[in-house]
Structure 1
Amino acid sequence: MALSRRRRRRCRALVLGALLSLAGTYLCYSLLLFCCAPEPEPLASGEAAAAAAARAASPRTAARCLPAAAAARKKLLQKWRACPAAASSTATAGNGSSSPPSPPPPPASRSVGTKRLPHALIVGVKKGGTRAVLEFIRGHPAVRALGTEPHFFDRHYERGLEWYRRLMPRTLETQITMEKTPSYFVTREAPRRIFNMSRETKLIVVVRNPVTRAISDYTQTLSKKPDIPTFEGLSFRNRSLGLVDTSWSAIRIGLYALHLESWLQYFPLSQMHFVSGERLITDPAGEMGKIQDFLGIQRLISEKHFYFNKTKGFPCLKKATPGGTLPRCLGKSKGRTHVQIDPEVIEQLQDFYHPYNVKFYETVGQDFRWE
């Protein structure tokens, strides 16, 4: 009996000692955490204001609410959480440090509208003034035009209309899609291919005195290939006999009446508009007015939008700016000085082109006065 009481006392002592040991360990661990935990970092003025606003809005959670930027710097043991976004933004607006969040920006202009196949094409002619017409008409809000020459109907037709459509700029339902490739006019397959795309396509042809056009063509080629033969040498198969070499592209392009025959097999003259390259220089507003009428758009490009550049020798657009107007001319390659050609050669070529010019005038019902 006495042995049993002693055992019970011993067991109580062991249990009490174990409990005291555990209590001491927990107390030491708590003291260690309390002493070693880092102090909260001071808040910036904006963050302090946000925290104050959060405490006022929600007293129950205020002690553990910080702006996200400050909460991210807190240690895990402190168990701080980020304030709601609304509280932070309200506080920021309240202290005047920044304006309220602005609405998302509208979609970029390039994503507005739909890419469509062209309604109108500038099909020719090379060195006639096609680039000027394109740049002038692009100033109209009802027109969106491709800036480069895609050469779809003469070089890349096998790629398909879908490939061609994707090249086009985006347009609204009320806008006209256009592109320019001057070589179409002298490409035999181009009229049929364009007709197959849309028989309603409107065609713009910029023509110029074929002799002047040929000299301009040669001048451009000479600037890239200085070693080519002379203009006279390329123009004639036999100059003494007056035999003109129509196999040379610079000469062949000027046979407008012959090229036009291919187009009239597919398109009526009512869907074709012929621009005078000469009048485009002397009266750009007049020629652009006719083009706008042909396209069925309001005459917005007028005389007040042009000025004459004496250095280049042709008109330039005035581009509106917040501070006034700034001139906008074509590139450096435009308006280059032509090479000097023997007047006798020019006269021979004028005689050669004369019957073709007369036929062209009669066909289109317009006298361009190239003689």
Structure 2
Amino acid sequence: MPRTLGSQITMEKTPSYFVTKEAPRRIFNMSRDTKLIVVVRNPVTRAISDYTQTLSKKPEIPTFEGLSFQNRSLGLVDTSWSAIRIGMYVLHLESWLQYFPLSQILFVSGEKMITDPAGEMGKVQDFLGIKRVLTDKHFYFNKTKGFPCLKKPEGSTFPRCLGKSKGRTHVQIDPEVIEQLRDFYRPYNIKFYETVGQDFRWE
């Protein structure tokens, strides 16, 4: 990490931190005062998005259904597949709570980041103890990508939007498969809501 003045905040982002077993201990040993921000979304949608991204790079991979289940007729979900396992948020959270209190962790709704980006960013700014700078006027909805982007900052030619790999159309999945995965995740979601004191309404 770069040297940080008392008036500055250093931020770093890596999607795999939350699900990496060694990460909580290592981050705690670096700085036990670190504030953690975790963006979560409906685990079924997250798994489909994960699969869609992988499929774009490896078109030869098995079907989503084939990877999701050990035995679909018995409803046996394959939790060894990372796209499924990542969405079992409460299990990963347990590792973090061994080192950090919940007061140092903010859970941001991936869904609300699309429907109300300024509202969610307001929570982030409050959590970090900084002045609310980002408001509704800083965002516009990009119809092509299907999510909000930052408007063009002063001195820049282009607005700031996520890269080409983001916003692609999801693969069509059998509604029955989606329903089975919803049933699978439900108890994990409920326990997650209870643990963090926040209902993300993923039902």
TM-score for both structures, normalised by structure 2? 0.97
Q: Offset of 1:319 from its aligned partner?
A: 2.0
Pairs within 5 Å for 1:179-218: 179-218=12-51
Residue of structure 1 in register with 2:117 after alignment: 284
User: In structure 1, how many angstroms separate the alpha carbons of the residues matched to 2:163 and 2:95?
Assistant: 32
Residue of structure 2 in register with 1:44 after alignment: none
User: In structure 2, how many angstroms separate the alpha carbons of the residues matched to 1:328 and 1:262?
Assistant: 34
User: In structure 2, how many angstroms separate the alpha carbons of the residues matched to 1:255 and 1:286?
Assistant: 26
Equivalent residue letter for 1:334: K
Q: 1:223 aligns with which of 56, 62, 65?
A: 56
Residue of structure 1 in register with 2:175 after alignment: 343
Q: Offset of 1:217 from its aligned partner?
A: 0.2
Question: Which aligned runs of 4 or more in structure 1 are off by greater than 3 angstroms?
Answer: none
Residue of structure 1 in register with 2:8 after alignment: 175
Q: Matched residue of 2:107: which SS?
A: strand
Q: Describe the superposition over 1:162-207 as per-residue Cα deviations: whole angstroms up to 9, x where unpaired.
A: xxxxxxxxx5431111100111111111111111111100000000
In terms of Rg, which structure is larger?
1
Q: Describe the superposition over 1:59-112 as per-residue Cα deviations: whole angstroms up to 9, x where unpaired.
A: xxxxxxxxxxxxxxxxxxxxxxxxxxxxxxxxxxxxxxxxxxxxxxxxxxxxxx
Residue of structure 1 in register with 2:2 after alignment: 115
Q: Offset of 1:322 from its aligned partner?
A: 5.4
With over 3 angstroms needed to count, the CA separation of the structure-2 counterparts of 1:243 and 1:299, relative to structure 1, is same
Q: Give the gaps of 5 or more residues in structure 2.
A: none
Q: Offset of 1:240 from its aligned partner?
A: 0.4
CA RMSD of aligned residues (A): 1.4
Equivalent residue letter for 2:198: Q
Q: 1:250 aligns with which of 83, 90, 102?
A: 83
User: In structure 2, how many angstroms separate the alpha carbons of the residues matched to 1:200 and 1:280?
Assistant: 26
Q: Describe the superposition over 1:11-31 as per-residue Cα deviations: whole angstroms up to 9, x where unpaired.
A: xxxxxxxxxxxxxxxxxxxxx
Percentage identity across paired residues of the two chains: 86
User: In structure 2, how many angstroms separate the alpha carbons of the residues matched to 1:255 and 1:207?
Assistant: 11
User: In structure 1, how many angstroms separate the alpha carbons of the residues matched to 2:150 and 2:5?
Assistant: 25
TM-score for both structures, normalised by structure 1? 0.53
Identify which of structures 1 and 2 has the higher relative contact order when contacts are C-alpha pairs closer than 8 Å and 6+ apart. Answer: 2
User: In structure 1, how many angstroms separate the alpha carbons of the residues matched to 2:68 and 2:158?
Assistant: 41
Q: Give the gaps of 5 or more residues in structure 1.
A: 1-113, 117-170
Pairs within 5 Å for 1:48-59: none
Equivalent residue letter for 2:190: V
Residue of structure 2 in register with 1:240 after alignment: 73
Residue of structure 2 in register with 1:361 after alignment: 193
